Chains A and B, each alone.
Chain A
Protein backbone atom coordinates (compact mmCIF):
# COMPACT_ATOMS: atom_id res chain seq x y z
CA UNK A 1 0.00 0.00 0.00
CA UNK A 2 1.73 3.12 -1.22
CA UNK A 3 -1.26 5.39 -0.91
CA UNK A 4 0.55 8.39 0.57
CA UNK A 5 3.31 8.27 -2.06
CA UNK A 6 3.19 9.51 -5.68
CA UNK A 7 1.50 12.84 -4.81
CA UNK A 8 1.92 15.20 -7.76
CA UNK A 9 3.38 18.68 -7.27
CA UNK A 10 1.52 20.74 -9.90
CA UNK A 11 1.95 24.51 -10.05
CA UNK A 12 0.97 24.84 -6.39
CA UNK A 13 3.87 22.78 -5.05
CA UNK A 14 4.19 20.47 -2.07
CA UNK A 15 5.45 22.78 0.68
CA UNK A 16 2.16 22.52 2.56
CA UNK A 17 1.57 18.80 2.29
CA UNK A 18 2.45 16.22 4.95
CA UNK A 19 0.85 12.87 5.72
CA UNK A 20 1.58 10.91 8.89
CA UNK A 21 0.53 7.27 9.08
CA UNK A 22 0.52 4.86 11.99
CA UNK A 23 0.12 1.10 11.79
CA UNK A 24 0.94 -2.10 13.63
CA UNK A 25 2.73 -5.04 12.05
CA UNK A 26 0.99 -8.40 11.70
CA UNK A 27 2.06 -10.89 14.39
CA UNK A 28 4.68 -8.50 15.81
CA UNK A 29 2.73 -5.79 17.60
CA UNK A 30 -0.81 -5.83 16.21
CA UNK A 31 -2.52 -7.39 19.24
CA UNK A 32 -4.06 -4.68 21.38
CA UNK A 33 -3.04 -1.96 18.93
CA UNK A 34 -6.57 -0.54 18.48
CA UNK A 35 -6.47 1.80 21.52
CA UNK A 36 -2.98 3.01 20.53
CA UNK A 37 -4.16 3.77 17.01
CA UNK A 38 -7.05 5.71 18.51
CA UNK A 39 -4.60 7.63 20.70
CA UNK A 40 -2.59 8.53 17.58
CA UNK A 41 -5.70 10.10 16.02
CA UNK A 42 -6.66 11.84 19.26
CA UNK A 43 -3.18 13.36 19.41
CA UNK A 44 -3.53 14.40 15.77
CA UNK A 45 -6.79 16.18 16.58
CA UNK A 46 -4.93 18.28 19.14
CA UNK A 47 -2.64 19.54 16.36
CA UNK A 48 -5.15 20.90 13.84
CA UNK A 49 -4.85 18.31 11.08
CA UNK A 50 -6.10 19.13 7.58
CA UNK A 51 -7.75 15.73 7.55
CA UNK A 52 -7.54 12.33 9.23
CA UNK A 53 -8.98 8.87 8.82
CA UNK A 54 -9.03 5.13 9.30
CA UNK A 55 -7.95 3.26 6.17
CA UNK A 56 -9.53 0.02 7.39
CA UNK A 57 -13.13 1.04 8.06
CA UNK A 58 -13.30 4.41 6.36
CA UNK A 59 -13.32 8.09 7.15
CA UNK A 60 -15.61 10.05 9.47
CA UNK A 61 -18.12 10.84 6.71
CA UNK A 62 -18.51 7.19 5.74
CA UNK A 63 -18.67 5.99 9.35
CA UNK A 64 -21.22 8.62 10.40
CA UNK A 65 -19.07 10.97 12.46
CA UNK A 66 -15.71 11.42 14.10
CA UNK A 67 -16.68 9.76 17.38
CA UNK A 68 -17.93 6.65 15.60
CA UNK A 69 -14.76 6.48 13.57
CA UNK A 70 -12.66 6.65 16.74
CA UNK A 71 -14.84 4.12 18.55
CA UNK A 72 -14.60 1.60 15.70
CA UNK A 73 -10.82 1.44 15.31
CA UNK A 74 -9.63 -2.17 15.15
CA UNK A 75 -6.31 -3.76 16.00
CA UNK A 76 -5.18 -4.03 12.40
CA UNK A 77 -6.22 -0.58 11.28
CA UNK A 78 -3.99 1.87 9.46
CA UNK A 79 -4.70 5.41 10.64
CA UNK A 80 -3.57 8.67 9.09
CA UNK A 81 -3.48 12.42 9.58
CA UNK A 82 -2.64 15.13 7.03
CA UNK A 83 -1.06 18.47 7.94
CA UNK A 84 -0.38 21.66 6.00
CA UNK A 85 2.25 23.16 8.25
CA UNK A 86 5.75 22.21 9.41
CA UNK A 87 5.25 23.57 12.92
CA UNK A 88 2.15 21.42 13.43
CA UNK A 89 4.00 18.40 12.09
CA UNK A 90 6.91 18.90 14.48
CA UNK A 91 4.62 19.37 17.43
CA UNK A 92 2.58 16.29 16.49
CA UNK A 93 5.65 14.10 16.00
CA UNK A 94 6.95 15.18 19.40
CA UNK A 95 3.61 14.19 20.96
CA UNK A 96 3.59 10.80 19.20
CA UNK A 97 7.15 10.12 20.33
CA UNK A 98 6.27 11.12 23.89
CA UNK A 99 3.21 8.83 23.83
CA UNK A 100 5.51 5.89 23.02
CA UNK A 101 2.81 3.95 21.16
CA UNK A 102 5.32 1.37 19.92
CA UNK A 103 3.70 1.29 16.47
CA UNK A 104 5.36 2.15 13.17
CA UNK A 105 4.97 5.74 12.00
CA UNK A 106 5.59 6.97 8.45
CA UNK A 107 5.80 10.60 7.31
CA UNK A 108 5.29 11.68 3.69
CA UNK A 109 6.32 15.09 2.38
CA UNK A 110 9.16 17.03 0.80
CA UNK A 111 12.31 15.33 2.01
CA UNK A 112 14.09 18.48 3.19
CA UNK A 113 11.07 19.51 5.26
CA UNK A 114 10.53 16.01 6.66
CA UNK A 115 14.22 15.69 7.59
CA UNK A 116 14.12 19.07 9.33
CA UNK A 117 10.89 18.26 11.18
CA UNK A 118 12.16 14.84 12.28
CA UNK A 119 15.32 16.41 13.65
CA UNK A 120 13.34 19.03 15.56
CA UNK A 121 10.98 16.37 16.93
CA UNK A 122 13.84 14.09 17.92
CA UNK A 123 12.86 11.15 15.72
CA UNK A 124 15.24 9.33 13.39
CA UNK A 125 14.53 8.68 9.71
CA UNK A 126 14.84 4.94 9.14
CA UNK A 127 13.61 3.72 5.76
CA UNK A 128 12.59 5.70 2.70
CA UNK A 129 10.29 4.94 -0.22
CA UNK A 130 10.90 7.09 -3.31
CA UNK A 131 8.45 7.61 -6.14
CA UNK A 132 10.10 7.27 -9.54
CA UNK A 133 7.17 9.09 -11.18
CA UNK A 134 4.80 7.71 -13.81
CA UNK A 135 5.84 5.31 -16.57
CA UNK A 136 3.98 3.78 -19.52
CA UNK A 137 1.45 5.52 -21.75
CA UNK A 138 1.31 8.90 -19.99
CA UNK A 139 -0.91 10.32 -22.76
CA UNK A 140 -3.76 8.68 -20.84
CA UNK A 141 -3.28 10.97 -17.82
CA UNK A 142 -5.23 14.05 -16.78
CA UNK A 143 -3.31 17.34 -16.53
CA UNK A 144 -0.61 17.83 -13.90
CA UNK A 145 -2.73 20.41 -12.04
CA UNK A 146 -5.73 18.09 -11.84
CA UNK A 147 -3.40 15.31 -10.68
CA UNK A 148 -2.02 17.61 -7.97
CA UNK A 149 -5.48 17.35 -6.37
CA UNK A 150 -6.64 13.88 -7.36
CA UNK A 151 -3.41 12.09 -6.36
CA UNK A 152 -3.96 13.19 -2.78
CA UNK A 153 -6.23 10.15 -2.70
CA UNK A 154 -3.73 7.40 -3.45
CA UNK A 155 -6.51 4.93 -4.22
CA UNK A 156 -7.86 7.06 -7.11
CA UNK A 157 -11.26 7.57 -5.54
CA UNK A 158 -11.24 11.26 -6.45
CA UNK A 159 -11.87 11.22 -10.20
CA UNK A 160 -10.34 13.90 -12.43
CA UNK A 161 -13.78 14.91 -13.69
CA UNK A 162 -14.99 15.39 -10.11
CA UNK A 163 -12.07 17.77 -9.50
CA UNK A 164 -12.96 19.66 -12.70
CA UNK A 165 -16.60 19.82 -11.58
CA UNK A 166 -15.58 21.29 -8.22
CA UNK A 167 -13.33 23.87 -9.90
CA UNK A 168 -16.38 25.00 -11.92
CA UNK A 169 -18.50 25.16 -8.75
CA UNK A 170 -15.89 27.40 -7.11
CA UNK A 171 -15.52 29.50 -10.25
CA UNK A 172 -19.24 30.22 -10.50
CA UNK A 173 -19.55 30.93 -6.79
CA UNK A 174 -21.70 27.91 -5.92
CA UNK A 175 -19.13 26.63 -3.41
CA UNK A 176 -16.23 28.05 -1.47
CA UNK A 177 -12.84 26.41 -2.08
CA UNK A 178 -12.99 24.79 1.38
CA UNK A 179 -16.49 23.41 0.75
CA UNK A 180 -15.39 21.97 -2.58
CA UNK A 181 -12.19 20.53 -1.10
CA UNK A 182 -14.21 18.92 1.70
CA UNK A 183 -16.50 17.28 -0.87
CA UNK A 184 -13.41 15.92 -2.61
CA UNK A 185 -12.09 14.57 0.69
CA UNK A 186 -15.18 12.42 1.31
CA UNK A 187 -14.37 9.64 -1.19
CA UNK A 188 -10.81 9.41 0.20
CA UNK A 189 -11.60 6.86 2.90
CA UNK A 190 -8.06 6.84 4.34
CA UNK A 191 -8.29 10.53 5.22
CA UNK A 192 -5.11 11.60 3.45
CA UNK A 193 -6.68 14.17 1.13
CA UNK A 194 -5.16 17.37 2.50
CA UNK A 195 -8.23 19.62 2.57
CA UNK A 196 -6.28 22.86 3.13
CA UNK A 197 -3.96 22.18 0.20
CA UNK A 198 -6.84 21.04 -2.01
CA UNK A 199 -8.78 24.23 -1.21
CA UNK A 200 -5.76 26.39 -2.13
CA UNK A 201 -5.31 24.56 -5.43
CA UNK A 202 -9.03 24.71 -6.29
CA UNK A 203 -8.97 28.44 -5.59
CA UNK A 204 -5.92 28.93 -7.81
CA UNK A 205 -7.31 26.84 -10.66
CA UNK A 206 -10.71 28.53 -10.49
CA UNK A 207 -9.05 31.90 -11.03
CA UNK A 208 -7.34 30.82 -14.24
Chain B
Protein backbone atom coordinates (compact mmCIF):
# COMPACT_ATOMS: atom_id res chain seq x y z
CA UNK B 1 0.00 0.00 0.00
CA UNK B 2 1.23 3.44 -0.70
CA UNK B 3 -0.14 6.89 0.06
CA UNK B 4 -0.31 9.43 -2.74
CA UNK B 5 1.33 12.38 -1.03
CA UNK B 6 -0.31 15.01 -3.23
CA UNK B 7 -3.76 13.76 -2.27
CA UNK B 8 -3.21 13.14 1.47
CA UNK B 9 -4.88 15.74 3.70
CA UNK B 10 -3.22 14.40 6.89
CA UNK B 11 -6.40 13.27 8.65
CA UNK B 12 -4.49 10.20 9.90
CA UNK B 13 -7.52 7.92 9.97
CA UNK B 14 -5.72 5.26 7.92
CA UNK B 15 -2.97 5.01 10.55
CA UNK B 16 -5.49 3.94 13.19
CA UNK B 17 -6.43 0.89 11.13
CA UNK B 18 -2.89 -0.30 10.41
CA UNK B 19 -2.20 -3.45 12.48
CA UNK B 20 1.53 -2.92 11.93
CA UNK B 21 1.77 0.74 12.94
CA UNK B 22 3.36 1.23 9.53
CA UNK B 23 1.62 4.52 8.69
CA UNK B 24 2.95 7.76 10.15
CA UNK B 25 3.35 11.43 9.38
CA UNK B 26 6.28 12.12 7.10
CA UNK B 27 9.22 14.12 8.51
CA UNK B 28 8.03 17.16 6.60
CA UNK B 29 4.66 16.69 8.35
CA UNK B 30 2.96 17.42 5.03
CA UNK B 31 1.55 13.97 4.41
CA UNK B 32 1.28 10.46 5.85
CA UNK B 33 3.46 7.71 4.44
CA UNK B 34 3.69 3.92 4.62
CA UNK B 35 6.82 2.20 5.89
CA UNK B 36 6.96 -0.52 3.22
CA UNK B 37 9.21 -2.77 5.29
CA UNK B 38 6.59 -2.88 8.04
CA UNK B 39 3.54 -2.93 5.72
CA UNK B 40 2.12 -6.44 5.29
CA UNK B 41 -0.29 -5.51 2.46
CA UNK B 42 -3.34 -6.52 4.50
CA UNK B 43 -5.38 -3.67 2.94
CA UNK B 44 -7.06 -2.93 6.28
CA UNK B 45 -6.32 0.80 5.91
CA UNK B 46 -7.69 0.82 2.36
CA UNK B 47 -10.90 -0.98 3.31
CA UNK B 48 -11.63 0.64 6.66
CA UNK B 49 -10.38 4.22 6.67
CA UNK B 50 -12.70 5.36 3.89
CA UNK B 51 -10.10 7.85 2.68
CA UNK B 52 -12.09 10.79 1.33
CA UNK B 53 -9.05 12.07 -0.55
CA UNK B 54 -8.52 8.80 -2.41
CA UNK B 55 -4.92 8.92 -1.26
CA UNK B 56 -4.51 5.21 -0.43
CA UNK B 57 -3.26 3.23 -3.41
CA UNK B 58 -2.81 -0.56 -3.46
CA UNK B 59 0.18 -0.83 -5.78
CA UNK B 60 0.70 -3.92 -7.95
CA UNK B 61 2.62 -6.52 -5.96
CA UNK B 62 5.36 -8.68 -7.42
CA UNK B 63 6.94 -11.87 -6.10
CA UNK B 64 7.83 -12.33 -3.26
CA UNK B 65 5.91 -9.36 -1.84
CA UNK B 66 2.68 -11.11 -2.86
CA UNK B 67 3.29 -13.42 0.12
CA UNK B 68 2.64 -10.51 2.47
CA UNK B 69 -0.83 -10.04 1.05
CA UNK B 70 -1.63 -13.75 0.92
CA UNK B 71 -0.66 -14.27 4.58
CA UNK B 72 -2.11 -11.02 5.93
CA UNK B 73 -5.25 -10.08 3.98
CA UNK B 74 -7.99 -12.24 5.51
CA UNK B 75 -9.94 -12.21 2.24
CA UNK B 76 -7.07 -13.60 0.16
CA UNK B 77 -7.71 -17.13 -1.04
CA UNK B 78 -4.73 -19.48 -1.09
CA UNK B 79 -4.43 -21.72 -4.14
CA UNK B 80 -3.44 -24.70 -1.96
CA UNK B 81 -6.35 -24.60 0.47
CA UNK B 82 -8.94 -22.94 -1.78
CA UNK B 83 -10.32 -21.08 1.22
CA UNK B 84 -9.89 -17.60 2.63
CA UNK B 85 -7.77 -17.08 5.72
CA UNK B 86 -4.27 -18.31 6.46
CA UNK B 87 -4.67 -22.00 7.11
CA UNK B 88 -6.68 -25.01 6.04
CA UNK B 89 -9.87 -26.84 6.94
CA UNK B 90 -7.83 -28.60 9.68
CA UNK B 91 -10.10 -30.02 12.42
CA UNK B 92 -13.11 -27.96 11.39
CA UNK B 93 -14.21 -30.61 8.92
CA UNK B 94 -12.76 -33.62 10.73
CA UNK B 95 -16.22 -35.17 11.02
CA UNK B 96 -16.24 -35.71 7.24
CA UNK B 97 -12.53 -35.90 6.33
CA UNK B 98 -11.21 -38.11 9.12
CA UNK B 99 -8.04 -36.02 8.95
CA UNK B 100 -7.31 -36.52 12.65
CA UNK B 101 -8.05 -40.12 13.53
CA UNK B 102 -7.83 -41.74 16.95
CA UNK B 103 -4.21 -41.72 18.06
CA UNK B 104 -3.31 -38.77 15.82
CA UNK B 105 -2.93 -35.11 16.65
CA UNK B 106 -2.73 -31.92 14.65
CA UNK B 107 -0.37 -29.23 15.82
CA UNK B 108 -0.40 -25.66 14.56
CA UNK B 109 2.12 -22.96 15.36
CA UNK B 110 0.78 -19.61 14.23
CA UNK B 111 3.79 -17.35 13.99
CA UNK B 112 3.29 -13.66 14.72
CA UNK B 113 -0.13 -14.10 16.28
CA UNK B 114 -1.51 -12.17 18.03
CA UNK B 115 -0.83 -8.71 16.64
CA UNK B 116 2.97 -8.90 16.41
CA UNK B 117 3.63 -10.24 12.87
CA UNK B 118 6.55 -12.39 11.77
CA UNK B 119 9.26 -12.41 9.15
CA UNK B 120 9.45 -15.72 7.33
CA UNK B 121 13.00 -16.15 8.61
CA UNK B 122 11.42 -16.51 12.07
CA UNK B 123 8.87 -18.97 10.70
CA UNK B 124 11.72 -20.99 9.24
CA UNK B 125 13.40 -21.28 12.65
CA UNK B 126 10.36 -23.14 13.92
CA UNK B 127 9.75 -25.25 10.82
CA UNK B 128 13.37 -26.41 10.83
CA UNK B 129 13.22 -27.24 14.54
CA UNK B 130 10.06 -29.27 13.92
CA UNK B 131 11.51 -31.02 10.88
CA UNK B 132 14.39 -32.27 13.01
CA UNK B 133 11.98 -34.29 15.17
CA UNK B 134 10.31 -35.75 12.09
CA UNK B 135 6.92 -34.34 11.19
CA UNK B 136 4.65 -34.24 8.16
CA UNK B 137 3.86 -30.63 7.23
CA UNK B 138 0.29 -30.06 6.04
CA UNK B 139 0.49 -30.09 2.21
CA UNK B 140 -2.60 -27.87 1.75
CA UNK B 141 -1.15 -25.07 3.85
CA UNK B 142 0.33 -22.20 1.79
CA UNK B 143 3.29 -21.94 4.19
CA UNK B 144 4.34 -25.49 3.30
CA UNK B 145 4.52 -24.41 -0.36
CA UNK B 146 7.13 -21.82 0.56
CA UNK B 147 9.51 -24.49 1.81
CA UNK B 148 12.41 -25.36 -0.49
CA UNK B 149 12.81 -28.65 1.36
CA UNK B 150 9.91 -30.15 3.28
CA UNK B 151 12.24 -32.70 4.91
CA UNK B 152 14.31 -29.99 6.61
CA UNK B 153 11.70 -27.23 6.84
CA UNK B 154 14.08 -24.88 4.98
CA UNK B 155 12.33 -22.04 3.16
CA UNK B 156 13.15 -20.66 -0.27
CA UNK B 157 15.83 -17.99 0.19
CA UNK B 158 13.98 -15.25 -1.66
CA UNK B 159 11.03 -15.29 0.74
CA UNK B 160 12.87 -15.10 4.06
CA UNK B 161 12.72 -11.33 4.50
CA UNK B 162 9.01 -11.12 3.80
CA UNK B 163 6.78 -10.25 6.73
CA UNK B 164 3.19 -11.27 7.39
CA UNK B 165 0.59 -10.68 10.08
CA UNK B 166 0.73 -14.38 10.85
CA UNK B 167 1.79 -17.63 9.24
CA UNK B 168 0.57 -21.03 10.34
CA UNK B 169 2.88 -24.04 10.39
CA UNK B 170 0.54 -27.03 10.43
CA UNK B 171 1.43 -30.66 10.92
CA UNK B 172 -0.07 -34.02 11.69
CA UNK B 173 1.59 -36.68 13.79
CA UNK B 174 1.02 -39.60 16.13
CA UNK B 175 -0.04 -38.79 19.69
CA UNK B 176 3.14 -40.45 20.98
CA UNK B 177 5.22 -37.81 19.15
CA UNK B 178 3.49 -34.90 20.88
CA UNK B 179 6.03 -34.59 23.76
CA UNK B 180 9.03 -34.23 21.48
CA UNK B 181 7.19 -31.77 19.25
CA UNK B 182 6.24 -29.65 22.24
CA UNK B 183 9.81 -29.80 23.49
CA UNK B 184 11.10 -28.65 20.08
CA UNK B 185 8.68 -25.70 20.00
CA UNK B 186 9.55 -24.77 23.58
CA UNK B 187 13.25 -24.78 22.82
CA UNK B 188 13.06 -22.73 19.62
CA UNK B 189 10.55 -20.25 21.01
CA UNK B 190 13.30 -18.85 23.25
CA UNK B 191 15.16 -17.77 20.11
CA UNK B 192 12.25 -15.96 18.48
CA UNK B 193 11.96 -12.27 17.86
CA UNK B 194 8.20 -12.63 17.63
CA UNK B 195 5.41 -14.56 19.31
CA UNK B 196 3.46 -17.62 18.25
CA UNK B 197 0.11 -19.06 19.22
CA UNK B 198 0.23 -22.83 19.52
CA UNK B 199 -2.66 -25.30 19.41
CA UNK B 200 -3.30 -29.03 19.40
CA UNK B 201 -6.27 -30.75 17.75
CA UNK B 202 -7.46 -34.26 18.45
CA UNK B 203 -10.47 -36.50 18.03
CA UNK B 204 -12.40 -36.77 21.29
CA UNK B 205 -12.99 -40.14 22.93
CA UNK B 206 -16.54 -41.49 22.99
CA UNK B 207 -17.01 -40.12 26.53
CA UNK B 208 -15.91 -36.64 25.41
CA UNK B 209 -12.42 -36.85 26.88
CA UNK B 210 -9.68 -35.06 24.97
CA UNK B 211 -6.75 -37.53 24.88
CA UNK B 212 -4.12 -34.86 24.23
CA UNK B 213 -4.83 -33.06 27.52
CA UNK B 214 -3.31 -35.86 29.62
CA UNK B 215 -0.12 -35.58 27.57
CA UNK B 216 -0.06 -31.80 27.95
CA UNK B 217 -0.68 -32.09 31.70
CA UNK B 218 2.21 -34.54 31.97
CA UNK B 219 4.43 -32.04 30.14
CA UNK B 220 3.27 -29.16 32.34
CA UNK B 221 1.97 -27.23 29.32
CA UNK B 222 -0.92 -24.87 30.00
CA UNK B 223 -3.93 -24.63 27.72
CA UNK B 224 -6.82 -22.22 27.45
CA UNK B 225 -10.32 -23.17 28.69
CA UNK B 226 -12.04 -22.11 25.44
CA UNK B 227 -11.35 -24.64 22.67
CA UNK B 228 -13.11 -24.91 19.36
CA UNK B 229 -15.15 -28.02 18.97
CA UNK B 230 -16.47 -29.80 15.91
CA UNK B 231 -19.98 -31.00 16.77
CA UNK B 232 -20.54 -33.91 14.34
CA UNK B 233 -23.06 -32.37 11.96
CA UNK B 234 -21.16 -32.86 8.68
CA UNK B 235 -22.19 -35.46 6.11
CA UNK B 236 -21.24 -38.00 4.89
CA UNK B 237 -19.95 -38.77 8.36
CA UNK B 238 -16.47 -40.28 8.36
CA UNK B 239 -16.38 -43.76 9.89
CA UNK B 240 -13.67 -43.53 12.56
CA UNK B 241 -12.19 -46.77 13.84
CA UNK B 242 -10.16 -47.29 16.98
Tell me the dominant secondary structure on chain A's binding face. loop
Interface: A105 (CB within 8 A):
yes
Assess whether B85 is in contact with A1, with CB atoms less than 8 Å apart: yes
Give Cα A129–Cα B170 distance, bound, in whole angstroms.
Answer: 13
Report if A125-B232 is in contact (Cβ < 8 Å); known contacts: A26-B82, A155-B165: yes
Give Cα A85–Cα B174 distance, bound, in whole angstroms.
Answer: 37
Question: Residues of B contacting A104 with CB < 8 Å?
Answer: 92-96, 230, 233-234
Q: How large is the interface on B (under 10, 10 to 19, 20 to 34, 35 or more residues)?
A: 35 or more
Assess whether B197 is in contact with A134, with CB atoms less than 8 Å apart: yes
Q: Which of the segments A53-61, A64-72, A170-178, A199-207 contacts the partner chain?
A: A53-61
Give Cα A105–Cα B94 distance, bound, in whole angstroms.
Answer: 10
Interface: B199 (CB within 8 A):
yes
Question: Residues of A contacting B189 with CB < 8 Å?
Answer: 135-136
Question: Residues of A contacting B93 with CB < 8 Å?
Answer: 23-25, 28, 104
Please give the residue numbers on chain A whose beta carbons come within 8 Å of chain B beta carbons, in ascending order: 1-9, 14, 17, 19, 21, 23-26, 28-29, 55-58, 62, 76, 78, 93, 96-97, 101-112, 114-115, 118, 123-138, 140-142, 147, 150-151, 154-162, 165, 186-187, 189-190
Question: Residues of A contacting B200 with CB < 8 Å?
Answer: 129-130, 132
Assess whether A127 is in contact with B94, with CB atoms less than 8 Å apart: yes
Give Cα A138–Cα B116 distance, bound, in whole angstroms.
Answer: 9
Question: Residues of B contacting A110 with CB < 8 Å?
Answer: 225-226
Report if A129-B85 is in contact (Cβ < 8 Å); known contacts: A104-B92, A137-B194, A160-B115: no
Assess whether B75 is in contact with A165, with CB atoms less than 8 Å apart: no
Assess whether A105 is in contact with B185, with CB atoms less than 8 Å apart: no
List the 3 shortest-distance A-B pairs measured between CB atoms, nearest first. Answer: A1-B85, A104-B234, A102-B235
Interface: B208 (CB within 8 A):
yes
- Write the nearest CB–CB distance from A185 to chain B, whole angstroms: 11
Assess whether A5 is in contact with B204, with CB atoms less than 8 Å apart: no
Name the residue of chain A whose CB is nearest to the CB of B238: A28
Assess whether A106 is in contact with B74, with CB atoms less than 8 Å apart: no
Assess whether A155 is in contact with B85, with CB atoms less than 8 Å apart: yes
Assess whether B100 is in contact with A136, with CB atoms less than 8 Å apart: no
Assess whether A106 is in contact with B231, with CB atoms less than 8 Å apart: yes
Interchain Cβ contacts under 8 Å between A and B, 20 examples = A4-B228, A25-B89, A26-B89, A104-B234, A106-B231, A107-B231, A108-B227, A109-B226, A111-B226, A125-B204, A129-B199, A131-B227, A135-B189, A135-B196, A147-B115, A158-B19, A159-B115, A162-B17, A165-B16, A190-B74
